[in-house]
Chain A
Amino acid sequence: MTSQHEHHESPVEDSEITSWKTKLLWSWIFTIPIAVLMLLERFFDILVIQPPFNSIFILAVGFPVVFIFGWDTIKSGVRGLFTFYFNMDSLIALGTVIAYLTGIFAFFGVVLDYSGVAAMIMAFFTTGKYVEAKARGRASQEIRKLLELGAKKARVLRGNKEIEVEISDVKVGDTMIIKPGEKIPTDGIVVKGESAVDESMVTGESIPSDKKVKSLVIGATINQDGVLYVKATKIGSDTFLAHIIELVESAQSTKVPIQKLADKITGVFVPVILVIAVLTFLNWWIFTGDLSRSLGVGIAVLVIACPCALGLATPTALMVGSGMGAKRGILIRKGEAIQTMKEVKIVVFDKTGTITKGKPEVRDIYSKVGEKYLLEIAASLEKLSEHPLSKAVVAKAGLKKYREVKGFKILRGRGLEGNIGNKKITIGNTRLMEEKKISLNEFKAMIKKFEEKGFTAIVVAENEKAIGVIGIADAVKEDSVSAIKELNRGGFKSVMITGDNEVTARAIASQVGIDEVIANVLPEDKARKVEELQKEGMVAFVGDGINDAPALKQSNVGIAMGTGTDIAIEAGDIVLAKGSLVGVVQAINLSKATFRKIKQNLFWAFAYNVVAIPLAIAGVLHPVIAEIAMALSSVTVVTNANLLRRKKI
């Protein structure tokens, strides 16, 4: 078993940057003398070295620049030409080699000597590549940090001894000891100790989370003030952090639809430019008869064309955007989502666990037979169900011993039934009672009162006769109100969807400021309701990713809420690591900002090529100027992507 950390290397490796740096330094050491000679000759008519030795000097000094420091580029470019998989290097290789050869042909008086230009093109090319690689490295800095976040070592108990081991040697079931200020090595459950843990690096949640026995902790988070004994439950690629990394990484190779045109163009760009360059050269030669000038123009066309700016426009912005998101616990899974987001008009929230905390509690009980008895029989049935409402009843009853239940049945979305002794017990919502024709007459007023407070009213019936009502409420998350206010201000229509009845649902919705409510929806019908809403406009669905998977899929943008230490990988286009609705607002803002950046970048990349190539064809640009423009264009795009960070999310 290898640890997750050995699986990921940095997106842009330092070795790539260093390698360009070395090439750049050496290229310029050799190119500067050439440039000085050329400038003196061209602008001041000063010949430092007399012909033909000046040409020999330039050929000799230029050789290593083009063929040694530029060898990787030449090799890759030439291979591209022969295999018909043309790339950027093919253009540079052709441009520099042709320019260099003119220096040799110049001896025979065929053409003027352009060999100095070859060295200068290569020197500027490596400079551009170096700056670009650095900027790309910067674009990936957040993702890089994420990759390096994992702990390297762990202190575990083996026998009775505390030993320090490599993270890859930690096994599920090991007890790890984490002192204050230390990183929690891997996901686990606290078995001893109490402490606050800073989880901001993984979930974006800035308030430290209190941990005690049985609390779940996430690997790579930082223990603050107490000593924790944690039993490892997940290791390697199963951990929360590994899932986040996997998600962010694979998102980088998803496509944003707007990029399609750029991709198509990049695919045919180089061969098209090759043809244009040849035609330009022939055209100039035929019409001017000036071979040297025609070659110069042809070379300028070759080196000015830049598929890189087009190709980098989207991925760099996406990378900066998803890095910024990851830092805040917003994980963009699909590039497409950021484009779709700007069309979204309606945001649908699932109620339980999304707007509310998802931990319902019994708030009030109204009984005809005594509270204790009511809770005892209710809890005995509810014990057998996993439903959150059931858990609330069981918690409230706090029984040590449960009654024996026979013939237990879950009536999905409605309630439960079963027999205790010779009594038939039915527990559920009013809909179930109506179905079973159980009269609610004496309870109607109470039920209404509960519902108006936003409680879910659960009726308990014995032998088809109602004996009590339990009012259960799920508290609204503190920041739901401000998040929804923000969305409403942003012009979104917010809708709450829930299985609760209309009155309860409305009470909760009004607490958080949502106008539209779709109540009484069975879990399996949520997707269909989303589909209906889609007739009005694009829909984003916010839900918990486990129960709401179909609705998340059906919506145009599915936003899955993480639940503490688990993360829904498969559902949702965007996943929120922390369960706060503020994340939804942030995700929307981030998507919009990232998409705007992509559009800007694509605009500049297209505009650059549309303006620059015709200028080169017209012969207005010197090949060296053309190369400088080319290098600047891709650097501009990557730098612009990095500027996305200035945006407040």
Chain B
Amino acid sequence: MICKEVKMKKVKLTIEGMHCASCASNIERSLKKVSGVKEASVSLMMKKGNVECDDSVSDDDLKKAVARVGYKVARVE
């Protein structure tokens, strides 16, 4: 097996349009499906999502994952 040093990064998303608990868990599920994403947790209360992923994941990938389930990323930090 080839072990490649993968750099991890943390991305903070501000998500619009969530209004119920299953919304948050849907977004989490969708984000985790993006390849390269290790951990995703979404807070309905703060309208924030915290994603831990490797460097190859672009902001657009994450935005798309959120859009796929019907919500909008207002800001990426």
List the interface of chain A (C-beta within 8 A of B). 7, 9, 11-12, 16, 76, 79-80, 83, 85-89, 129, 133, 136, 139-140, 249-250, 252-255, 263, 266-267, 269-270, 307-308, 310-312, 315-316, 319
Contact = CB atoms under 8 A, between A and B. Distances in A.
A266 B27 CA distance: 12
B70 A252 contact: no
B29 interface: yes
Contacts of B46: 11, 249, 252-253, 319
Contacts of A139: 45
Given A7-B77, A11-B46, A253-B43, 12 more contacts: A16-B19, A76-B70, A80-B69, A88-B23, A129-B19, A136-B45, A140-B45, A253-B49, A254-B41, A263-B25, A267-B22, A311-B21
B38 interface: no
B48 A249 contact: yes
B43 A88 contact: no
B70 A83 contact: yes
Contact of A266 (B21, B43, B50): B21
Nearest to B14: A9
A312 B18 CA distance: 13
Given A129-B19, A269-B22, A312-B21, A253 B69 contact: no
Interface in B7-37: 12, 14, 17, 19-26, 29-30
B47 interface: yes
A87 B26 contact: yes
A88 B42 contact: no
Interface of chain B, main secondary structure:
mixed
B44 interface: yes
Nearest to A307: B22
A87 B28 CA distance: 13
Given A16-B19, A80-B70, A311 B44 contact: yes
B15 to A, nearest CB: 11
A253 B21 contact: no
Given A249-B48, A307-B21, A85 B41 contact: no
14 contacts: A9-B14, A76-B70, A83-B68, A83-B70, A85-B26, A85-B29, A86-B22, A86-B26, A87-B26, A129-B19, A255-B41, A267-B22, A267-B25, A269-B22
Contacts of B49: 253
User: 3 closest A-B pairs (Cβ-Cβ)?
Assistant: A311-B21, A253-B43, A88-B20
A250 B19 contact: no
A311 B41 contact: no
Contacts of B44: 311-312, 315
Contacts of B21: 88, 266, 307-308, 310-312
A319 B47 CA distance: 13
B13 to A, nearest CB: 10
A134 to B, nearest CB: 13
A88 B17 CA distance: 13
A315 B48 CA distance: 12
A252 B45 CA distance: 7
A267 B21 CA distance: 9
A64 B26 CA distance: 29
A85 B19 CA distance: 14
Contacts of A11: 45-47
B20 A253 contact: no
B77 to A, nearest CB: 8
B47 A85 contact: no
A250 B45 CA distance: 11
Contacts of A12: 45
A491 to B, nearest CB: 33
B50 A250 contact: yes
A311 B20 contact: yes
Nearest to A254: B41
Contacts of B42: 253
Nearest to B42: A253
Contacts of A270: 22
A250 B48 CA distance: 8
Given A269-B22, A311-B21, A85 B45 contact: no
Nearest to A264: B25
Contact of A83 (B19, B47, B69): B69
Contact of A307 (B20, B30, B48, B77): B20
B76 to A, nearest CB: 12
B64 to A, nearest CB: 13
Contacts of B41: 253-255
Contacts of B30: 85
A255 B23 CA distance: 16
Given A83-B69, A85-B30, A315-B43, A253 B22 contact: no
A7 B14 CA distance: 10
A413 to B, nearest CB: 35
B18 to A, nearest CB: 9
A76 B21 CA distance: 14
Given A250-B50, A254-B41, A255-B41, A311 B25 contact: yes
Nearest to A136: B45
A316 to B, nearest CB: 7
Name the residue in B24, B42, B77 with the highest tally of chain A Cβ atoms < 10 Å from its Cβ: B24
Contacts of B50: 250, 253
A103 B41 CA distance: 42
Contacts of B22: 86-88, 266-267, 269-270, 307-308, 311
B22 to A, nearest CB: 4
Contacts of A86: 22, 26
Contact of B24 (A79, A140, A311): A311
Name the residue in B26, B45, B47 with the highest tally of chain A Cβ atoms < 10 Å from its Cβ: B45
B20 A252 contact: no
A252 B19 contact: no
Contacts of A83: 68-70
A250 B20 CA distance: 19
Name the residue in A129, A253, A267 with the highest tally of chain B Cβ atoms < 10 Å from its Cβ: A253
A269 B20 CA distance: 13
B33 to A, nearest CB: 11
Name the residue in A87, A249, A311 with the highest tally of chain B Cβ atoms < 10 Å from its Cβ: A87
Nearest to B75: A7
B26 to A, nearest CB: 4
Contacts of B70: 76, 79-80, 83, 85
Nearest to B27: A85
Contacts of B68: 83, 85
A252 B69 CA distance: 22
Nearest to B20: A88
